[in-house]
Amino acid sequence: MDDHIRFDHQSFELHLLDQRLLPAQEADFVCRTVEDVVYALQAMVVRGAPAIGVTAAWGCVLALREAQGPDWAARFEQGMERIAAARPTAVNLRWAVERMRGVWLAAGGETGDPAPLLTAFAHAAQTMQDEDVAICKTLGRHGAACIEDGDCVLTHCNAGALATAGYGTALGVIRAAVEAGKKISVIADETRPFLQGARLTAWELERDGIPVTVACDNACALLMSRGQVQCVVVGADRIAANGDTANKIGTYGVALLARHFHIPFYVAAPLSTIDPATPDGAGIPIEERPALEVTHMGETRLCPENVPVLNFAFDVTPAEYISGIITEKGVLYPPYGLSIWAARNDLSTGRSAGISAGPLRDSGDAPDAEPGRSQERA
């Protein structure tokens, strides 16, 4: 599905499938202003790093439309910055805004005429959206080689079409494996407290006819110990230059368990999710969400009043626990500092830089630094 982010050029409205309502209801949240876009991002009407980036790009179009009068450039700059600062962890958010800012600067910046710039901005946002779908499909084809026929893949949170412009990253890998003829089943962690796995991943895969079972987050160790999981594939909101990866809270625990049970643990993300300006995971800001998401289920209070709540939206999985990072340039392997640099600089340095179009399964030339792999499948 690639229609959950739609821009109406006649009414100048951004229509977002409201993910808060799924799976019970399919309804759009309509953004007409910068504040609408910021709310949609913060309230998780739309979420997932690539989808956040595409939404931000269209938000910049709305910001330009809002900027009127002699001080339009200053107002436009304020609107773009308001969007870029809406959420702290997903690097695609500011990446998309900076890319749109580049379109503005190329057109003359503050000295340009905002009217023709509007057309250029709409074209740039649509290009970004189309590129994301193509990137996810390419990424998926690379990642499909990491999954064997008959595997049960565990995933955490939702890294599917809803988290991107369409097709998905982690779910894109699963979709591509199925399209390649492999019989794949999926265990979706429920992903507390927002239940993206139970509500969104299960919804997507059920619609696609891909066998999916929802499991409580705290069942992961039991499932792995019973041999019910052969592979883990998750998405990412930000990947540091050394390969440390921020993803939905609970991902780090899944990675630790995967290492313990010798199960491959892959991260699937476009290169735009890699932040070369962040040396390692310690520099990734971790968003804290409202306590209400933990204390209540709908209108029903679950926790005693006046009890403090820790509601971190993300955690960071150290690179040493990641078997491979699946990107549109291929699967990156340790040492990640080198393989990420090579991929970002479009260098085809092959295994010498830890890059491969497929996994190095059970091979004697697998890098010593490649963690999370065993010679036998669990």
Q: Which residues contact 263 (CB under 8 A, 6 or more apart)?
A: 224, 229, 230, 231, 232, 257, 372, 378
Q: How far is CA 47 from CA 38, 249, 363, in A?
A: 12, 14, 38
Long-range contacts of 311-314 (CB under 8 A, 24+ apart): 311/193, 312/249, 312/286, 312/287, 312/288, 313/89, 313/248, 313/249, 313/286, 313/287, 313/288, 313/289, 314/89, 314/237, 314/246, 314/247, 314/248, 314/249, 314/251, 314/284, 314/286, 314/287
DSSP class of residue 288 equals B
DSSP code of residue 214: E
| From 132, 217, 237, 244, active-site residue | 237
- Cα separation, 265 vs 121, in Å, equals 38
CA distance 97 to 34: 13
Q: Are strands 324-327 and 330-332 parallel, antiparallel or unpaired?
A: antiparallel
8 A C-beta contact, residue 334 and residue 284: no
Please confirm, yes or no, whether 237 is among the known catalytic residues: yes
Cα–Cα dist 170/196, whole Å: 13
Is there a contact between 157 and 90 (Cβ–Cβ < 8 Å)? no
Question: Which sequence positions are flagged as catalytic?
Answer: 237
